[in-house]
């Protein structure tokens, strides 16, 4: 399973990248909006210098021609830029056009298996089902991941299932068990994934015993 980080914060990206477990980055307009002071495209360019992997940058336009133009512009920032498009009719048209030009796409805001199937048929590189937002409305976000993975396997789609809207380490475990190709993980969840009280207690105990031995 690939790990992407779901943030546009440069310090967070640098810190998690230093762990050696990061395969890519996803951003969205809300995450970019939190990073004040720098233009959008500059932030994406900076991220591309830090992480050598797919970096998702989302379009703002709502009509296919505007999305396509924006997507082309974003893809010129760096070879690793993946153009993120909303899973609406215009987004699908833009996905088809950009994919035909060899531009990688991440079709986002996916909340059903049929939406994912449509994105795959339009040539999406990634489709992003939002687990946490489905859980928030008392639906089973992980069931959607299982359905998408099974459907993509049934038909041999090259589109990768990118589990998004991850809220807790359990989501990562379950997405991995379901066979999701990628999980995009917020920084806080990366920290939670690594931490275990028994590991800390174990390290403390080993050091204390070592000191006692007088070596």
Rounded distance between C-alpha atoms, residue 23 and residue 82, angstroms = 13
Q: Could you tell me which stretch among 43-51, 68-76, 125-133, 149-157 binds ligand E4P (CB under 6 A)?
A: 125-133
Nearest-approach distance from CB 213 to ligand E4P, in angstroms: 48
What tokens appear for 36 in the block?
A: 């004040």
184 binds ligand E4P (CB under 6 A): yes
Nearest-approach distance from CB 154 to ligand E4P, in angstroms: 25
When the beta carbons of 72 and 133 are compared against ligand E4P, the nearer one is 133
Is 212 assigned a catalytic role? no
Q: Look up residue 117 and give its DSSP letter.
A: H
165 binds ligand E4P (CB under 6 A): yes
Residues contacting ligand E4P: total by CB under 6 A: 11
164 binds ligand E4P (CB under 6 A): yes
In degrees, to the nearest 5, what angle opens at C-alpha 180 toward C-alphas 177 and 181?
Answer: 125
Site for ligand E4P in 42-71 (CB under 6 A): none
| 34, 38, 79, 84: the active-site residue | 84
125 binds ligand E4P (CB under 6 A): no
In degrees, to the nearest 5, what angle opens at C-alpha 110 toward C-alphas 171 and 8?
Answer: 70
Rounded distance between C-alpha atoms, residue 66 and residue 214, angstroms = 70
Q: Look up residue 20 and give its DSSP letter.
A: T
Q: Are 86 and 64 in contact (CB under 8 A)?
A: no
Nearest-approach distance from CB 34 to ligand E4P, in angstroms: 11
6 binds ligand E4P (CB under 6 A): yes
Site for ligand E4P in 89-118 (CB under 6 A): 108
Nearest-approach distance from CB 122 to ligand E4P, in angstroms: 18
Active-site annotation, residues: 84
Contacts to ligand E4P by CB under 6 A: 6, 26, 28, 108, 128, 130, 132-133, 164-165, 184
């Amino acid at each position: 399973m690939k790990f992407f980080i779901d943030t546009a914060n440069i310090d967070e990206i640098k810190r998690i990248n230093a762990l050696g477990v990061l395969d890519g980055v996803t951003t969205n307009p809300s995450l970019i909006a939190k990073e004040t002071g720098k233009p959008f495209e500059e932030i994406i360019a900076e991220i591309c210098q830090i992480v050598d992997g797919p970096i998702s940058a989302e379009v703002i336009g709502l009509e296919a021609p505007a999305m396509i133009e924006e997507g082309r512009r974003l893809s010129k920032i760096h070879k690793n830029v993946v153009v993120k498009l909303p899973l609406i009719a215009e987004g699908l048209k833009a996905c088809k056009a950009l994919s035909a030009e060899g531009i990688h796409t991440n079709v986002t805001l996916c909340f059903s298996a049929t939406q994912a199937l449509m994105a795959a048929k339009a040539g999406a590189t990634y489709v992003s089902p939002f687990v946490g937002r489905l859980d928030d409305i008392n639906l089973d976000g992980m069931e959607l991941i299982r359905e998408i993975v099974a459907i993509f396997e049934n038909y041999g789609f090259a589109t990768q299932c990118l589990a998004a809207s991850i809220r807790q380490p359990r989501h990562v475990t379950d997405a991995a068990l379901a066979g999701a190709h990628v999980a995009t993980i917020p920084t806080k969840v990366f920290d939670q994934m690594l931490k275990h009280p028994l590991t800390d207690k174990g390290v403390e105990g080993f050091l204390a015993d070592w000191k006692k031995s007088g070596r």
